[in-house]
Amino acid sequence: MYFNQLVNILSQTDTIHLVNNSSSISFSDIAFLDGNELVDNEKTLYFGFERELNIKNIFPMHCILGTEAQSTNSLNLIDDLALVTETSLFAVFNRTKLILEQSEGKGLYEELIRKSEESHDIQAVVNASAVKLGNPLILIDLDFKVIVYSTISPIADELWRKNVERGYCSYEFIKTTLSMKEFQNPSYPTDSVEVSCTESHYRKLCNRIFFRGAHVGYAVMIASETNLIPTHFSMMATISQAVSHILANDFPALFQQSSQDQKVLYNLLIGALPEELSPELNTLTFAPHMAALAIKPERYYGSDYIKKCLTPVIHQTFPNVHMTYHDTLIAVLFPFNKTVDITEAELNQLNSIAKTENLIVGISNTFSRIGHFALHYAQAKAAIQLGERLSTKQRIYKYWDYQFYDLLSQIPSNVSIGKYCHPALALLRKYDNDNATNLYHTLRAYLESGCNIKLTASNLFIHRNSMIYRLERIEEIGRIDIRNIDTLFLLQVSYAIDHFLEHDS
């Protein structure tokens, strides 16, 4: 703000005498002189008593002084100078502070609106806000999913760095925020509230975001780059108001409300305990048997594509499923009302959707308690990860086909699991290498066919007698009895370990 602008505003309510106005430099802060500070900041308007400046020869660029004297000859060195009575100085100081805050708020609001109109990009608005704050800014929805975050500098807070990487907040932060009385009964909807949680030592400000009057999310500032100061509270209030206006006019689909079942599933996935969600769970009904599905688009086109294009297709075929969005995947609760497992017909329908929409689907084991959803969703994700690693390309991976491999994947990398393989496999591999035979793969085919000689021979395109001869050689070279059930079990486990290690990444 320029000095003459302020004097004109103050003159409407206070008796103020403009002495000098020769500076063309605006100021953005105010301070009260106590005689100890430096006064060389050209962006600060100083307040003090005229008698003290005369004694100490302090001459700031912008100054409003309280005085009872008539002469100001000694103050000609001050570029911008106005006088008020000593008794009114503190009142004028407080009014100036309020005028500056209102002016800065209006200027910031208009700047963010203009940034949105020019860029048509909410990211640009958030980055501009972060520059003004001097700290990272994050927008989250009511489910505490990260919608957008500032990218002008790395987020120093380890907790929030993880939050933005995975796309959602920690459940502890959610509980802390929702339990605060300031958010339950705010004195004013856009008031800034300081939020803290034990997982992070950085101070944080949180403000509500509204969409056409409805509360849809939060703006969070992390004071990791600059310390939290009073100005941040008013700036965050202005930013939340600007973002609310921008959402209504430019990005109406950015913050979409979730249904009750979506919120429950999402909260379970991010770590909420079932007992913490009992009020919500009591309003919902679930099937006696369920499975969790993880649905992964082969190419990720963003959350809007998932919500507007993929989920309607899935709902059209399976109208009773519940869905939410997590880590760029669709998390599905698949109910079985008349069966205890997914049927072949449902698998075929699912496979058809996956082919048409270019999806990869993981299916968990069956469960019956909604509180186990997160555990089984992890199974569905593991099925995709292990299936893509170990198998030929498929659209659907069932966890029960990869359960043992999931167990192997939990073993620490410094443990050599190959040493647990049956020694017969190494003997057969060495013999094959020395004699150009194929006994190692013959034994694997025999085990995979359920130890059926005829079926194995057919699969290997060899005569039954040749198959019998190979088995005899396998027993002799491997020093095993393939009729012993314990040996067969150990051999199957060993082949699984070998297969896992062959595809180790």
Residues 6+ apart with CB under 8 A from 320: 287, 335, 337
Tell me the two tokens of residue 248.
């209504």
| Claim to verify: residue 73 and residue 208 sit in the same structural domain | no
What's the total number of domains in the chain? 4
Confidence of residue 106 (pLDDT cuts 50, 70, 90): confident
| Claim to verify: residue 91 and residue 201 sit in the same structural domain | no
β-pair partners for 139: 148, 219
Residue 106 belongs to some domain of the structure: no
Q: Rounded distance, CA 43 to CA 32, Å?
A: 14
Confidence of residue 499 (pLDDT cuts 50, 70, 90): very high
Asked if 303 and 325 count as a contact pair (C-beta separation under 8 A), the reply is yes
| Claim to verify: residue 447 and residue 429 sit in the same structural domain | yes
As to burial, measured by CB atoms within 10 angstroms (0-12 exposed, 13-18 middle, 19+ buried), residue 23 is middle
Tell me the two tokens of residue 286.
């679930």
**Sheet of 146-149: strands edge to edge?**
146-149, 137-141, 214-222, 200-211, 193-197
* Tens-digit pLDDT profile for residues 135-188: 999 998 887 888 899 998 888 888 888 888 878 887 777 777 777 766 666 545
Q: Rounded distance, CA 272 to CA 486, Å?
A: 43
* Tens-digit pLDDT profile for residues 109-135: 888 999 998 888 889 999 999 998 889
Confidence of residue 478 (pLDDT cuts 50, 70, 90): very high
Tell me the two tokens of residue 1.
């703000």
Q: Which of 233-242, 399-408, 416-425 has the lowest mean pLDDT?
A: 233-242
Output Rg (C-alpha) for the chain, integer angstroms: 35
Buried b (16+ CB within 10 A) or exposed e, 144-179: bbbbbbbeeeebebebbbebbeebbbbbebbebbee
* Tens-digit pLDDT profile for residues 198-252: 778 889 999 988 887 788 889 999 998 888 887 888 889 889 989 988 887 777 6
Q: Which of 60-64, 77-81, 176-180, 448-452 has the lowest mean pLDDT?
A: 176-180
Domain end marker among 197, 228, 250: 250
Domain end marker among 367, 389, 408: 408
Residue 505 pLDDT exceeds 60:
no
| Claim to verify: residue 423 and residue 401 sit in the same structural domain | no
Look over the chain and give the mean of its residue pLDDT values, rounded to a whole number.
87
φ, ψ of residue 116 to 5 degrees: the values are: -65, -45
Residue 340 pLDDT exceeds 70:
yes
Confidence of residue 74 (pLDDT cuts 50, 70, 90): low
Confidence of residue 490 (pLDDT cuts 50, 70, 90): very high
| Claim to verify: residue 216 and residue 290 sit in the same structural domain | no
Confidence of residue 42 (pLDDT cuts 50, 70, 90): confident
Residue 385 belongs to some domain of the structure: yes
Residue 70 pLDDT exceeds 70:
no
Q: Rounded distance, CA 176 to CA 174, Å?
A: 5
| Claim to verify: residue 266 and residue 176 sit in the same structural domain | no
Asked if 89 and 43 count as a contact pair (C-beta separation under 8 A), the reply is no
Q: Greater confidence, 369 or 301?
A: 369
Nearest Cα neighbor of 82 from 25, 28, 3, 24 is 3
Residue 112 belongs to some domain of the structure: no
pLDDT for position 255: 61
Domain residue limits at 459: 417-502
| Claim to verify: residue 292 and residue 334 sit in the same structural domain | yes
pLDDT for position 220: 93
Domain end marker among 374, 408, 442: 408
Residue 330 is which amino acid? Answer: I
Residue 67 belongs to some domain of the structure: yes
| Claim to verify: residue 271 and residue 397 sit in the same structural domain | yes
